[in-house]
A and B are shown apart, each in its own frame.
Chain A
Amino acid sequence: MMSGRGTGVALGKSLRLSSFIAIEDRKSLIVELDQGLMQGPTRGSLDLQLVLASLSADADAVVLSPGNAGRSVPRFMGRAAPALIVRADWTNAFRDQSSVLPASEVRHAMVCSTEDAVALGASAVAAYFFIGYRDDEDEARNMESIALLARQCDRLGMPLIVESVPIGERTAGANFADCVDLATRMAMEAGADAVAAPYTGDEKTFHALAESVGVPLFLLYSTDPIVEPFSVVRSSLDAGASGVIVGRSLLEVENSSETLKKLRHIVHKQRRER
């Protein structure tokens, strides 16, 4: 999983990663419940504590904003509970036309430091890295933010997951798969311990990505509601993904807890008793 990193700090990272990437199959199913920070209340997550209660049993880890992480501590206590991943950044990238205040320019900001995440009992920190901003300076700033976050994480032995996403018109064409490769690669080189990326479109390119990026690669399922037969999930796992991160796409489905159980079965290939 993490070959040959130095002593001390690397042990901390390995330990924390192993709390949600299963040792047996090296796979993980991660649920994002941090939408509120970026989009306001969304259908399906109005009462966060209720949603947490219904989904915790089948998630290996849950991503929460710093504010809600503090309020949800009881949900993460005990051996059977999922691991806590804290969202360290904010963006308006998901506020599309259906939002009450659609974003005119994509913006990104840091909202939480690694020390804060440690104090919250987190097992990892998550942040976005976008490429395709209209102004290249925004890409440079985003890179700077995740790199400095990575340095903090190195010092504290905290794993960093970077969700590397091509956005905007510049990346929407035939170059999408290459853009995913560029974004994930830069994130890994900056110091991410794991990366998440949208599906490149076909198994071949996703497989190439999984091979070359060198750290665990999660499928970031963040577009349409996630429904059977879950072909994209299956394809990406076959292509070498270490698991799936799913958020809004799960919450918009009628029976999200049933869906999550089915996803768990696919990711871990068997029902795991907790």
Chain B
Amino acid sequence: MSKILDPPDGRGVVVAADHGFMLGSIEGVEDLEGTLSRVVEGRPDAILLSPGQAARLNHLFRGRDAPALLVRADWTNAFRDKTYTLPARTVHRRAVAEARDAISLGASAIVTYYFMGHSDDEREAQNLRLMASFARQCDKMGLPLIVEPLPMGERVTGANFADLATAAVRIAAEAGADAIKAVYTGDVETFSSLVKAAGIPVLILGGAKAKTLRDALEIVDEALEAGAAGVVYGRQVLQASDPAQFVRSVRAIVHEGKTVLQVLNPVTGPVRLRVFPERCTRCRVCELICTSTHGQGFSPAAARLRVEFLGVDSYKPVTCTLCGQCIKACPTDALSFHPELHYVQLNPERCNGCMDCVQACPVKVVRFDEQRSLPIICDMCRGAPSCGLWCQPEAIVTERQKERKNDAA
């Protein structure tokens, strides 16, 4: 299990590529070898394949840095709805491999479904029996079992979905699952209960729901906050234009503790702020997000920029221009330009609270924190300015600094 859920943080990023087995050659899986070669570059912790593909594409899993192999041990027609070729009329699920088959393929775990919600109780009993038999095989062979419990069948409604999902998760855990793959319930509260009910690691299903990368990452972020141990992505990755980059972005959230904004706007070099006053609506979100990003809550009075009122419908954001006057004015060399990213940075230990920098700033964006006796200086959010990210009308825009011009003139 430790190859899938990395011990330092107990989390995993998994890519599911077994859709072909259940749906035929849908978009993203036609040239599975080609697509997965690109996915592997993003370093997912594991990849899920059907038994046939696990054998054919075994070479992708060689080596210490390669992902772990997960084998799908059952098949179902449950997902062949009306949008697919030959839609299923009745739902069926069958075992297609045993634990020992997965082991001989070098797999680190098997993955199976568990459906709950059929109106026929005999079907429910069969479902449980199948899961239990997988659990016993896995125990014997020392192979982890990952179960994907899904509310499925005539008795599932919108109202009972979350409770049914939680019940199915708990039943799977009690039957012997070592980890769970579950649909994110949609909010932190119900998902936290589900995670608690499971008592074993729960990975969320990425699903096809997120329309943009940002949406997908925000769902992961929220699920992790609610206690998820990671995420399993399928089509979202396989159909992405840059699968490796997608995986890297998810890894940054799951394993590197980055925020969604940090991932979407990686620091790539020195930046400056460019202002288009005619676009400004004076919403002042820039001031709010400035203090929020710097851990000061929402306090416009302490922001490192401000929006000036010039007249009716005429406003102007005023930001740090990197002129360097504050640096020149400082008697103790407490201020300097960051060597690589060229933003103004403060060394608090050297500051004597003289406020010369506040006086020196030609646009008056340097403020002073009386309590800590330190200036409040714009640091371009260390390379990814929040004001530039959040300004909707694009009155403030982040730009690359072209050359390291000597702005101090």
Chain A residues at the B interface, C-beta cutoff of 8 Å: 2-6, 9-10, 131-132, 135-137, 139-141, 143-144, 147-148, 150-151, 154-155, 166, 170-171, 175, 178-179, 181-182, 185-186, 188-192, 208, 211-215
Identify which of A144, A170, A171 contacts B96 (C-beta below 8 A).
A144
CB-defined A-B contacts under 8 Å, sample of 7? A9-B104, A144-B75, A151-B97, A178-B86, A186-B75, A191-B96, A212-B25
Contact between chains at B75 and A212 (CB < 8 Å): no
Given the contacts A136-B92, A154-B104, A212-B30, A185 and B55 also touching, CB distance less than 8 Å: no
A38 to chain B, nearest CB (A): 24
Complex: how many Å from CA A166 to CA B24? Answer: 13
Whether A144 contacts B94 by the Cβ 8 Å rule is: yes
Give the docked Cα–Cα distance between A156 and B79 (Å): 32
Q: Check A189–B18 contact: CB distance below 8 A.
A: yes
Q: Please give, as numbers and ranges, the residues of chain B lying within 8 Å of A175 by CB-CB distance.
A: 85-86
Q: CA A131 – CA B22 in complex, angstroms? A: 12
User: A residues within 8 A CB of B240?
Assistant: none
Known: A181-B25, A189-B20, A190-B75. A137 touches B90 (CB 8 A): yes
Counting CB contacts under 8 A, is B51 at the interface?
Answer: yes
Partner of B56 from the list A135, A144, A215 (CB cut-off 8 Å) is: A215
B332 interface residue (CB < 8 Å to A): no
- Give the shortest distance, in Å, between A216 (CB) and chain B (any CB): 12
CB-based contact A147/B51 at 8 Å: yes
Q: List B residues at the A interface (Cβ < 8 Å).
A: 18, 20-25, 30-33, 50-53, 55-60, 75-77, 84-86, 88-98, 101, 104-106
CA distance A148 to B59 in the complex (A): 23
Q: Is the CB of A3 within 8 A of B24?
A: no
State the CA gap A102–B9 with chains docked (Å).
63
> Which residue of A137, A154, A186, A212 contacts B55 across the interface (Cβ within 8 Å)?
A154
* Top 4 A-B residue pairs of the complex, sorted by shortest distance between their CB atoms: A4-B59, A147-B96, A140-B92, A182-B24
Partner of B57, one of A4, A140, A144, A190: A4
- Tell me, rounded to whole Å, the shortest Cβ–Cβ distance linking B145 to chain A: 17
- Tell which of A9, A178, A190, A208 touches B85, judged by Cβ atoms closer than 8 Å: A178
Q: Which of A155, A179, A189, A190 contacts B86 (CB 8 A)?
A: A179
Bound state CA distance, A166 and B86, in angstroms? Answer: 10
**Distance between A178 CB and nearest chain B CB, rounded to angstroms:** 4
Q: Which residue of A lies closest to B51 (CB)?
A: A191
Which residue, of B22, B24, B50, has the highest number of chain A Cβ atoms within 10 A?
Answer: B24
A4 to chain B, nearest CB (A): 3
| Contact present for A189 and B53 (CB under 8 Å) | yes
Interface contact B21-A136, CB-CB below 8 Å:
no
**B104 contacts which chain A residues (CB < 8 A)?**
6, 9, 154-155
Q: Nearest-CB distance from A141 to chain B (Å)? A: 7
Question: Do the beta carbons of A5 and B58 come within 8 Å of each other?
Answer: yes
Q: How many angstroms between the C-alpha atoms of A259 and B22 in the bound complex?
A: 39
CB neighbours (8 Å) of A178 from chain B are 24, 85-86
Which residues on the A side are within 8 Å of B50 (C-beta)? Answer: 189-191
* B97 with A147: CB separation less than 8 A: yes
Supposing A181-B85, A182-B24, A190-B21 touch, asked if A141 and B105 sit within 8 A by C-beta, the answer is no
Question: Which residues of A lie under 8 Å from residue B91 when comparing CB positions?
Answer: 136
Q: Which of B21, B33, B60, B85 contacts A189 (CB 8 A)?
A: B21
Q: With the chains together, A187 CA to B215 CA distance in Å?
A: 35
Write out the residue numbers on chain B whose beta carbons fall within 8 Å of the beta carbon of A166. Answer: 86
**A135–B58 CB distance below 8 A:** no
**Inter-chain contact A140/B93, CB cutoff 8 Å:** yes
A6 touches B94 (CB 8 A): no
Q: Are A140 and B21 in contact (CB under 8 A)?
A: no
The one of B23, B33, B84, B88 that contacts A214, using a Cβ cutoff of 8 Å: B33
Q: Complex: how many Å from CA A134 to CA B408? A: 81
Among the listed B31, B94, B101, which residue makes an inter-chain contact with A140, where contact means beta carbons less than 8 Å apart?
Answer: B94
Contacts A3-B59, A135-B90 known; A185 to B51 CB distance under 8 Å?
Answer: no
Bound CA–CA A206/B90 (angstroms): 29
Given the known interface contacts A175-B85, A185-B25, A212-B31, the answer about A151 and B101 at a Cβ–Cβ threshold of 8 Å is: yes
Contact (Cβ within 8 A) B51 A136? no
Q: With contacts A141-B94, A186-B75 known, what are 12 further pairs, Cβ within 8 A?
A: A3-B59, A4-B58, A5-B56, A135-B89, A136-B89, A140-B94, A151-B51, A151-B96, A151-B97, A151-B98, A189-B52, A192-B52
In this complex, what residue of A is CB-closest to B80? A182
Bound Cα distance from A140 to B30, whole angstroms: 23
Do the beta carbons of A211 and B86 come within 8 Å of each other? no
A135–B88 Cα gap in the complex (Å)? 9
The smallest C-beta distance from A91 to any residue of chain B, in angstroms, reads 18
Complex-state Cα separation, A212 to B34, whole angstroms: 11
Q: Is there an interface contact between A143 and B75, defined as CB atoms closer than 8 Å? A: yes
Q: Chain B residues near A188 (CB, 8 Å)?
A: 20, 52-53
A211 touches B31 (CB 8 A): yes
Distance in Å from the Cβ of A253 to the closest Cβ of chain B?
A: 33
Assess whether B75 is in contact with A147, with CB atoms less than 8 Å apart: yes
Nearest opposing residue in chain A for B105, CB measure: A6
